[in-house]
Structure 1
């Protein structure tokens, strides 16, 4: 299904009945990342997935997709569907957007799960990497995207998940160059939202990978502690929905039941 938001097409799916769960994908992903998870969760819940601006089947909206702008598209879809309260699950970039939604609509959030994500802002080093990538991508889009995807997995999993990784790369290449740059700019400029997580009265869960190449493990442990969030640790990388899918679905079901 498609919703028009400020003259931009926003693609979304809506499956199942029950407590509403909004699944928000990460950078260079789209709603298809949840294809193996949605059927399980929609048995007892109403599951909404959304293609973020510049990703999948959704259009771009300008040249900087801030977390607030991303969140606005999510809100528009939920308003269109007349949904008042919901649980958020955000992978990586999706987690940053979830925190922005929690900041602006705390009373509507029943639970928030950060999947391989963080409430911390970008380090200065990562900001420089994003700036450099945005310059490189205009001439080396395909090679840069493919390399970026491979780097998200625990190195020991590259052969085991070869087919899945190729599928992720194929979907990632559906992201427009404009969408790539706009999302990177938005992530680079996002604010620290530790306080949103710490002060939230909703159910909170951090799911992290011990070998995540994007998020420093010790920092994630400290974040969970200081924000009083439940913590689940998997032994692999940044792509827990693939590297630890079966265990992740069990964690999700337990989390949703307790929200």
Structure 2
């Protein structure tokens, strides 16, 4: 079935579509909306089942989530945008590049992975999905997923940030989280998608990220033809939430450079910088 996503849409200028991490919602992008809307049109959808978006009854699929985001472009009147995704949002962003490449003028991948799950990780996701379908609500997310979302520096020094992330995890609808875990467990390898990209790519990773490592980020940057890698200090998996000023600065510079290139080219398309 067709699911219409709820999306926050603020600011004006070059469109910047940001896709949230699991198991959060577009609420995680609060400081990006505040920090970037003065220069860009920032659109932050709730992926299906999360926040204000309905889940629908499709089979769990990252491709279905990417098609949902493509409909957001149409619904919001956006022809092309810089697309950024963190963690699960990165999986959806790469699927969008594979299925709807004409929509993307630049790609930001943060705290995410192009490789499919190992068998161990896949089995763990499916076990958690079963638990989420049970009577315990989101306890499995609080006990097992939350500890890996932020780095040790945030745990020690940023109690308010950790508390905010914990609140977002606790607000997750269990059915949506179970659906998303099954979708992520079934996702394909995305390295071919990265190799075939015709747009610039910015890869970011926190230096304390234990879920998507610096080596994995470097492998993605190496695969994409026109890419740069930024390792963010004192940040774990949710680098945009833990280090919002550094994240916003990097995304703003990347997006502004693409906007200039698009303005200078005859067909309005961004050109590779390399």
Q: TM-score, normalised by structure 2?
A: 0.87
Question: Shift of the alpha carbon at 1:63?
Answer: 6.2
2:136 is aligned to 140
Instruction: Indicate the residue corresponding to 1:104 in structure 2.
Output: 99
Q: Shift in Å at residue 195 of structure 1?
A: 1.3
Q: Is contact 2:5–2:69 with CA below 8 Å preserved after alignment? A: no
Name 2:22's counterpart in structure 1. 27
Q: Conserved in 1, the CA contact under 8 Å of 2:70 and 2:100?
A: no
Question: Mapping of 1:220-239 within 5 angstroms?
Answer: 220-228=217-225, 229-235=227-233, 236-239=235-238
2-structure distance, mates of 1:63, 1:162: 38
Deviation for aligned residue 1:72: 1.6
Structure 1 Cα separation of the partners of residues 208 and 156 of structure 2: 16
3-state secondary structure, aligned to 2:137: helix
- What is the alpha-carbon distance in structure 1 between the residues aligned to residue 28 and residue 197 of structure 2? 27
Cα distance between partner residues in 1 of 2:246 and 2:153: 18
Question: SS at the partner of 2:193?
Answer: helix
CA distance in 2, matches of 1:60, 1:69: 11
Q: Which moved more, 1:155-164 or 1:81-90?
A: 155-164
Could you tell me which of 152, 160, 167 is aligned with 1:163?
Answer: 160
Contact 1:28–1:173 (CA<8 Å) still a contact in 2?
no
Structure 2: stretches of 5+ with no match in the other structure: 259-274
Is the contact made by 2:116 and 2:188 (CA closer than 8 Å) also made in structure 1?
yes
* Distance in 2 (alpha carbons) for counterparts of 1:175 and 1:254: 32
Contact 1:64 1:181 in 2 (8 A): no
* Count of residue correspondences: 254
In the other structure, the counterpart of 1:241 is 240
CA distance in 2 between partners of 1:82 and 1:72 (Å): 16
Greater mean alpha carbon deviation, residues 119-128 or residues 156-165: 156-165
Any idea what the Cα deviations from partners look like across 1:200-235, whole Å, max 9, x if unmatched? 111101101222111132232233223342100013
* 1:83 maps onto 2:78 in alignment: yes
Deviations 1:117-136 (A, max 9, x none): 12221122210110121123
Indicate the RMSD between aligned Cα atoms, in angstroms. 1.7
1:195 aligned counterpart, secondary structure:
helix
Give 1 or 2: higher strand fraction.
1
**What TM-score do you get using the length of structure 1 for normalisation?**
0.92
